[in-house]
Amino acid sequence: MTSRYKITMAYDGTHFAGFQSQPEQRTVQSVLEKAVNKMSKLNEYITIFGSGRTDSGVHALGQVAHFDFPHDVPADSMLRGLNSMLPLDIEIVDCQIVPETFHARYEAHAKRYMYRVSRSWFIDPFKRLYTGHYKYPLDVERIKQAMPDLVGTHDFSSFVASGSQARSHVRTIYEATVEDDPANNELVFEFCGNGFLYNQVRIMVATLLEIGNARRPIHDFLRLYDVKDRNQARETAPASGLYLKEVYYGQQAQEIVAKALLQNQGLRSKIDSQIK
């Protein structure tokens, strides 16, 4: 009997060429498919469907994927079996059997990314693979004033890498926060939205750091939405600081949207048009 499994995973992206399978590359998808197909021992190839790509070097704390497995294996045994076969830079943190209507990509209505910026003058050897690095002075208050400009529905054409194949560059951000963490000498950004374009978070972070360093006016995002010109938001923060933290489905996604609506009344009409 075939069952559909939803898996939630963490991975250290350092040695992966991103999530999606590519010829001759070590990707999260190919490593997962290798393990799942080894377990199934059938000729029919089992494909893993992720919630979306993560780029080369980007980490995950809660990436989600699904696959159909031809044997009746309890979810807990699947979790233990996969973890025993997978390399140590990837871990299945949750596994559930879900209805066949569940789809990791099509049903993902919100995603949360985190970006860690290390502020030391020299690069901390223990953070080099797990943070971005910004050694110049930052006025965190300027960044905090800019963050509300990100929330809402905007055309992010100025914040998309040239390789993007997205038909539309309009996306909605439900939440955008920054936490100053002086104990660790870090700034930690979080962005929750209905979807993000290729490199969007990394370009937004680089722009926010330039605002914090007073190289740009505080409300430069408003201008950048208008000009729709990638060349004006030039920098891209490194992949090492970026984490796909959570992917939201069903009820959970609805609650995120509802909360965003409550906190930003003006967004209702804009957000409504974005949600299927």
The verdict on 225 binding its own copies (CB under 8 A) reads no
Name which position in 4, 6, 8, 10 contacts its own copies (CB under 8 A). 10
Q: Is 45 annotated as a binding residue?
A: no
- Contact region with its own copies (CB under 8 A), list: 41-49, 85-93, 170-178, 179-187: 85-93
Least separation in angstroms between residue 245's CB and its own copies is: 13
State which amino acid sits at residue 210. E
Distance CA 26, CA 167 (A): 28
The verdict on 116 binding its own copies (CB under 8 A) reads no
The verdict on 183 binding its own copies (CB under 8 A) reads no
**Residue with smaller CB distance to its own copies, 113 or 221:** 113
Asked whether the beta carbons of 118 and 134 are under 8 A apart, the reply is yes
Name which position in 26, 70, 71, 123 contacts its own copies (CB under 8 A). 123
Question: Which of the following is catalytic: 55, 72, 89, 272?
Answer: 55
Q: Which of residues 27-66 bind its own copies (CB under 8 A)?
A: 59
Q: Which residues of 122-146 are buried (b: 16+ CB within 10 A; e: fewer)?
A: eeeeebebbbbbbeeebeeebbbeb
Burial class from Cβ neighbours inside 10 Å (0-12, 13-18, 19+) for residue 191 reads: buried
**55 among known catalytic residues:** yes
Least separation in angstroms between residue 181's CB and its own copies is: 15
The length of the chain is 276
Asked whether the beta carbons of 253 and 110 are under 8 A apart, the reply is yes
C-alpha distances in Å from residue 89, one per residue of 28, 83, 116, 209: 10, 10, 19, 30
Catalytic annotation, residues: 55
Which residues contact its own copies (rule: CB under 8 A)? Answer: 10-12, 59, 83, 88-92, 122-126, 128, 130
